[in-house]
Amino acid sequence: MEFAAIGTIRSPFSSRTGMPIQPAAAVGMRGTVEVHDEYAEGLHDLDGFSHIILLYHFHRSEGFDLRVVPYLDSVAHGVFATRAPRRPNPLGMSVVRLERVEGSVLHITDVDVLDGTPLLDIKPYVPAFDSQGEIRVGWVEQHGGKVPATRSDDRFL
């Protein structure tokens, strides 16, 4: 299985320590997505969407643990019950606001991604497809309110 980056995510975050841990903690943070020229045609009609899903490679993450203490908790959980960056396949996902498209550059806000992150794919966020009815959020139920104030630390370096 092989993947190639289709672009690069640009953000104000040059260090993994101290950055927002989710888009909900990055409200108003501006960034861009620079899509490689050979994929620019694929952006046609994307400007009609207010939000997009970015799929990317945690390129500065090495190794993984199957049980981790996530940023929002002090108790270890299985890595697949978290969004921790150190994973068997270091893939990230963020839903960001799409402000505008200029050629092959997407202007975004609410970005929680490290500057220079390789972009693997873009998908439009469509509530009719992506929102679910009744949901459970496991251990996050107790800690979700902490997201806006929580910043990353060095635990996954």
Whether the full predicted model's pTM is greater than 0.85, yes or no, is yes
Q: Does any domain span residue 38?
A: yes
| Model pLDDT, residue 72 | 81
State how many domains the chain has. 1
Under a CB-based contact definition with an 8 Å cutoff, are residues 26 and 32 in contact? no
| Model pLDDT, residue 157 | 72
Burial grade of 115 (CB within 10 A; 0-12, 13-18, 19 or more): middle
Whether residue 154 has pLDDT greater than 80: no
Q: Does any domain span residue 109?
A: yes
Q: Does any domain span residue 153?
A: no
| Model pLDDT, residue 51 | 97
| Closest-CA residue to 104 (of 58, 49, 46, 28) | 46
CATH number for the domain that contains residue 112: 2.40.30.70
Bridge pairing between strands 67-68 and 77-78: antiparallel
**Full residue range of the structural domain in which residue 15 is found:** 7-146
Under a CB-based contact definition with an 8 Å cutoff, are residues 93 and 155 in contact? no
Per-residue CA distances from 21 to 47, 104, 105, 127 (Å): 26, 27, 24, 22
Q: How confident is the model at residue 144 (pLDDT cuts 50, 70, 90)?
A: low
Per-residue CA distances from 112 to 41, 44, 56, 67 (Å): 26, 25, 12, 23
